[in-house]
Structure 1
Amino acid sequence: MGLASMGLAPSRVEHLFALLAILPFILFAPMAGWLGDRFPKSLIIRLSSWFQLLVLILMGGGLWLGSRQEAASWPLYIVMLAFFLLAMQSALLSPSKMGVVKELVGSERLGFANGVMEGSVILMILLGQIIGGYWYDAWGLQNGRAPWAAAMIPVLWILIGAALSICFSHLIQKTKSQSDEAFSWAMTMRHFGDLRELRKNEALWRCALGIAFFWSFGGFLQMLLIQIAEDRWGSLEGLGVGAAILWIPVVVGIVIGSLLASWICNRRNELGLIVIGGALMCLATGFLAIFQVGAISFLLLVLAGFGGALYLVPLNVFLQDRAPENHRGMVLSASNLCINLGLVLAVGIQFFMSFLGVPFWLQFILISGVCGWATFHIMRLLPKDFIRLVFLGVFRSIYKIRALGVDQIPKEGGILMVPNHLSYIDAFV
């Protein structure tokens, strides 16, 4: 965006890079699913960590060339290529990264582990934007550096982080391959075939759509907050810090929400949290149409992040737990395809709203209305889970419940349970 303000890059370049980040998840979705099933997920994680390091070196080289020839535009194409390759690495890694959790911890601890993992992933994504923006501004532009040189500062720190991630990847317990399917070029084009397979399981299909809605919501909100930051602080100096200021409350909310969701889902995946999270997202963005500055807007952004975490964690746990062992990679990659098709739509809509000059308050009203519609639809699908979660919370605050022999209940199939007494409270407990 700094280069765009100097006429060295296209205007609205942030939307272009957003599409570059999304495109590999669409193009390589079947390949990512095949890799996650055909090879040990721990191996895919290690190899992708090395690939990430090489791509970041390429990106740093492109930025260095740009700092040497600031008037030239071709170094920007090198950076864009590196950015695309980095997104491709993330796309190929994603099914293995998500699928390995159940293989390491099992179903019983999946809710807690998934909450910690998802919260950490989203936290690092947002912290990267906050810290990177601050470094770009405070250590770069405000010290008299050109945009090319300023951008090298966060990339160098990311390189250090990439080297550390290689070390961590080799600490992951080795896992086994879940499929022996041979590679064929036809699989690179079976996007809609994977979606058809996913649609055969109605529960998994609805879950994938719910996850896609969350990330579409996040993508729209991200582009909108960048637009607000650009409007308040300009497109060059101050934009990085300004965007960081707007993202900090969202990060705080996601951290708190992820920890709470992990604790609640520690023993059992509580799908009722999805309804609560969706309602909070709807309310927060609706009130942001009225309060866009000050302490109230800060609290509303916290609430939006908090609700988003409550919404996402149970959905991811359900998808990973219910996906068949030998096709988990395919299911997760098909879910990623849904996510990124939704992101393309969300970023595209926000781009046209920005281009047409739609006021911020109206954009918040739009996203709040969509959240309200989605929450109402989810409530119709999960009324029992929502009521159970609310009443169980009340009962557990009064009654001390201790479950015995849970490990004797099979995960699948029927079971005959004969109680020695029956009361109306048993339905909730």
Structure 2
Amino acid sequence: MSTPSSITAAPGPAPHEHPNQFALLGQRRFGPFFWVQFLGAGNDNLFKFAFTVLVTYQLQVSWLPPAMAGLVIGALFILPFVLFSATSGQLADKYPKEVLIRFVKNLEIAIMALAGWGFVVQHVPVLLACVFLMGLHSTLFGPVKFAYLPQHLNERELTGGNGMVEMGTFVAILLGQVAGGLLIAIPGQGGMYVAIGCVAVAVLGRAMAQAVPVSPATDPGLQINWNPFTETWRNLKLAHGNVVVFRSLLGISWMWFFGAVFLSMFPAFARDVLHGNEQVASLLLVVFSIGIGIGALLCEVLSKRHVEIGLVPLGAIGMSVFAIDLYFAARGLAPSSGYTLAAFVAQPAHWRVMADLALLSLFAGIYSVPMYALIQLRSQPTHRARIIAANNILNALFMIVSSLGVGALLAAGFTIPEVFLVVGLLNAVVAGYIFLLVPEYLLRFIAFILTRCIYRFQVRGDEHIPVQGAAILVCNHVSFIDAVVLMAASPRPIRFLMDHRIFAIPVLGWLFRLGKAIPIAPQKEDPAAYERAFVQARAVLDEGDLLALFPEGGITRDGSLGEFKGGVMKILQTHPVPVVPMALQNLWGSFFSRIEGGTAMVKPFRRGLFSPVGLVAGPAVPAAEASPALLRERVAALLSAGPGR
């Protein structure tokens, strides 16, 4: 059972210490780490793309034909993720992360020195070995990267921090591939310049790693299991222990499946469908990378600096809509002998293709960032890196399945636009299945739409809503959607104790059942249901979760605050957790509140769209001091606190 001392905030500065996610770059806890991961991703792709160009255009290797080069290089790079992610997750939990980061950067310098020699003498087997080693380098860094962030960023910074990392990764991929292509193309000296570039970037990354702050081990007593197969299975079981986290891992892996389809098809799509040259294929990569980056950065703005998983369904919808529209935009293009970049951009018919590609990747960024933040926030700190390692394993497996699936579709006679259509439709099915399995995504999406598109919702005092530990939230009851509005204010799921009659209302009743709200009937009406409700409420607190109730016992009929009943005291007798008073402002008089003879939901848009609605949270009241009268007094004071900024 949680105690008041268990209600703690995540580490990091005050929520409003910096204005936006870009300000994190100027802080030591984030800036050096960001540039370390940026340079690492860039170097991976500088090396791989230069090598791909070398064996595709410049060398004739009988046992590695150009058509197979990209596939072999990609498979060698992914293989370590499958083999060693489980071990790397253990290492990231057992050892300080700044130590591991510096070790990985030292390893990168050694690998790039060997690769540099391979480029100079054009030794393909050595370069293939270095591809595998760089995959191992990335495998070791992956769990460290995502487990580092929640150690140094608080809940309000996680979405922005993950957005910056995702944006930086895709920009680095783009810049690395451009640099690799340009350097290897230098006549006579391309290999030498690539070698210098790879080693220089690795050394710069190591210099940045020296500034990464101390990041203590989360499980220093962990005994390493060096068997990758048993440990992989153990990690997957560990992740499966938290259903929301595990389904989020699957959701992220699906995004990599989805993205891998498009990334793998860009060269053939540019040549065979868009009738463009190599520069057009590069343009597709640029558009895709920029779209992902913008989507990742938008997450902080859209989420109002919280971990807002309501963005995930929004991202999934956009991914499907624009993947399907890409099929229609691409299938009717007139044949051509081959467009240069300028000629391709000059064709208005191609603008829709570019817009679809940019928007589907933008929504993919919106889809993935909240999932990463949710995994970091909800995973047990001592096991966080191992759970992220499990995610890397799943990502690799999904990307392999993606390649096999695309190959099967093409072999069956599907055109490239038809492959995009199939993936867009499949994305809708998979996303819908995930959201039904984990209703929290769907509920938070509804709350997101309600508080962003119907009301102009502002929250004050949200620092009083605990990010960890059990607590009871008490609030005035103004409308039939009070619970949905409260969901939008909390980064954590809330279980509601609600009047059983509200479950009979169409749609709303289904939503509350989906959200596992606890129905309660008056004791005189149904004593068994009354007692059962309190048993379930106590179980919520036993799990360390948030329980919300409306102590007035019913929705106000005149807008005034009623007397608080004693149900909260019945819970506090056995579970003395903190009680957080909250007040909903300006919902009275809206479509969902009782008005005009006690009826509700009779005049749509009664107050128009974007009418202001507020929620104010106050400091927690210790269980020993709580009483219905005191809690009502605190809620009344919050109600009279005036409108938000």
> What is the TM-score of this pair, normalised by structure 1?
0.87
Letter paired with 1:388: A
Residues 357-387 of structure 1 deviation map (CA, whole Å, 9 limit, x = unaligned): 6421121112112112123224433321111
Query: Secondary structure at the residue paired with 2:472?
Result: coil
Match of 2:224 in 1: 183
Residues 15-54 of structure 1 deviation map (CA, whole Å, 9 limit, x = unaligned): 1111112110010011111111000111111111111121
Structure 1 residues 160 and 411 mapped into 2: Cα distance closer, same or farther (>3 Å)?
Answer: same
Structure 1 residues 425 and 192 mapped into 2: Cα distance closer, same or farther (>3 Å)?
Answer: closer
> CA–CA distance in 2 between the matches of 1:352 and 1:54?
39
> CA–CA distance in 2 between the matches of 1:152 and 1:219?
31
Structure 1 residues 155 and 255 mapped into 2: Cα distance closer, same or farther (>3 Å)?
Answer: farther
Query: Secondary structure at the residue paired with 1:120?
Result: helix
> CA–CA distance in 2 between the matches of 1:259 and 1:186?
38
Match of 1:117 in 2: 165
Query: Secondary structure at the residue paired with 2:211?
Result: coil
Query: Secondary structure at the residue paired with 1:411?
Result: coil
Of 125, 129, 137, which residue of structure 2 is paired with 1:89?
A: 137
Letter paired with 2:95: F
Identity of aligned residues (%): 22
> CA–CA distance in 1 between the matches of 2:238 and 2:92?
17
Structure 1 residues 221 and 233 mapped into 2: Cα distance closer, same or farther (>3 Å)?
Answer: closer
Structure 1 residues 208 and 246 mapped into 2: Cα distance closer, same or farther (>3 Å)?
Answer: same
Match of 2:345 in 1: none
> CA–CA distance in 1 between the matches of 2:181 and 2:413?
25
Of 141, 165, 175, which residue of structure 2 is paired with 1:127?
A: 175
Of 33, 49, 52, which residue of structure 1 is paired with 2:105?
A: 49
Structure 2 residue 451 is matched with structure 1 residue 392: yes
Letter paired with 2:232: H
- Per the TM alignment, residue 187 of structure 1 is displaced from its structure 2 partner at its CA by 5.7
Q: Say if 1:116 and 1:259, in contact at 8 Å, map to a contact too.
A: yes
Residues 123-202 of structure 1: pairs in structure 2 closer than 5 A: 123-136=171-184, 140=185, 144-145=187-188, 150=190, 153-179=193-219, 180-186=221-227, 189-202=230-243
Residues 296-335 of structure 1: pairs in structure 2 closer than 5 A: 296-335=352-391
Match of 1:279 in 2: 317
Query: Secondary structure at the residue paired with 1:116?
Result: helix
Match of 1:71 in 2: none
Residues 173-213 of structure 1 deviation map (CA, whole Å, 9 limit, x = unaligned): 11111111133434664211211222222111101000100
Letter paired with 2:144: S
- Per the TM alignment, residue 265 of structure 1 is displaced from its structure 2 partner at its CA by 3.1
Structure 1 residues 106 and 227 mapped into 2: Cα distance closer, same or farther (>3 Å)?
Answer: same
Match of 1:253 in 2: 291
> CA–CA distance in 1 between the matches of 2:271 and 2:99?
42
> CA–CA distance in 2 between the matches of 1:12 and 1:107?
45
Residues 57-68 of structure 1: pairs in structure 2 closer than 5 A: 57-66=113-122
Residues 325-404 of structure 1: pairs in structure 2 closer than 5 A: 325-353=381-409, 358-380=414-436, 381=439, 382-395=441-454, 397=456, 401-404=458-461
> CA–CA distance in 1 between the matches of 2:467 and 2:329?
51
- Per the TM alignment, residue 144 of structure 1 is displaced from its structure 2 partner at its CA by 4.6
- Per the TM alignment, residue 394 of structure 1 is displaced from its structure 2 partner at its CA by 2.5
Match of 2:38 in 1: none
Match of 1:70 in 2: none
Residues 17-56 of structure 1: pairs in structure 2 closer than 5 A: 17-56=73-112
Q: Say if 1:130 and 1:248, in contact at 8 Å, map to a contact too.
A: no
Residues 307-316 or 380-389, more deviating: 380-389
- Per the TM alignment, residue 89 of structure 1 is displaced from its structure 2 partner at its CA by 0.5
Structure 2 residue 303 is matched with structure 1 residue 265: yes
Residues 267-276 or 327-336, more deviating: 267-276
- Structure number with the bigger relative contact order (C-alpha 8 A, sep ≥ 6) is 1
> CA–CA distance in 1 between the matches of 2:455 and 2:238?
40
Query: Secondary structure at the residue paired with 2:471?
Result: coil
> CA–CA distance in 2 between the matches of 1:128 and 1:284?
27
Structure 1 residues 121 and 152 mapped into 2: Cα distance closer, same or farther (>3 Å)?
Answer: same
Q: Say if 1:254 and 1:309, in contact at 8 Å, map to a contact too.
A: yes
Query: Secondary structure at the residue paired with 1:108?
Result: helix
Q: Say if 1:102 and 1:110, in contact at 8 Å, map to a contact too.
A: yes
Match of 2:263 in 1: 222
Aligned residues: 407
Of 279, 282, 285, which residue of structure 2 is paired with 1:244?
A: 282
Residues 196-205 or 357-366, more deviating: 357-366
Higher helix content, 1 or 2: 1
What residue ranges of structure 1 are gaps of 5+ in the alignment? 67-74
- Per the TM alignment, residue 407 of structure 1 is displaced from its structure 2 partner at its CA by 2.9
> CA–CA distance in 2 between the matches of 1:85 and 1:231?
34
Query: Secondary structure at the residue paired with 1:415?
Result: strand
Match of 1:409 in 2: 466
> CA–CA distance in 1 between the matches of 2:481 and 2:412?
56
Q: Which protein is bigger by CA-based radius of gyration?
A: 2
> CA–CA distance in 1 between the matches of 2:370 and 2:356?
22
> CA–CA distance in 1 between the matches of 2:467 and 2:399?
39
> CA–CA distance in 2 between the matches of 1:364 and 1:134?
30
Structure 1 residues 21 and 351 mapped into 2: Cα distance closer, same or farther (>3 Å)?
Answer: farther
- Per the TM alignment, residue 321 of structure 1 is displaced from its structure 2 partner at its CA by 0.7
- Per the TM alignment, residue 354 of structure 1 is displaced from its structure 2 partner at its CA by 5.0
What residue ranges of structure 2 are gaps of 5+ in the alignment? 1-51, 331-348, 486-645
Q: CA RMSD in A?
A: 2.5
Structure 1 residues 396 and 203 mapped into 2: Cα distance closer, same or farther (>3 Å)?
Answer: same
Letter paired with 2:118: G
- Per the TM alignment, residue 269 of structure 1 is displaced from its structure 2 partner at its CA by 1.4
- Per the TM alignment, residue 134 of structure 1 is displaced from its structure 2 partner at its CA by 4.6
Query: Secondary structure at the residue paired with 1:417?
Result: strand
- Per the TM alignment, residue 424 of structure 1 is displaced from its structure 2 partner at its CA by 4.3
- Per the TM alignment, residue 428 of structure 1 is displaced from its structure 2 partner at its CA by 4.1
Structure 2 residue 345 is matched with structure 1 residue 288: no
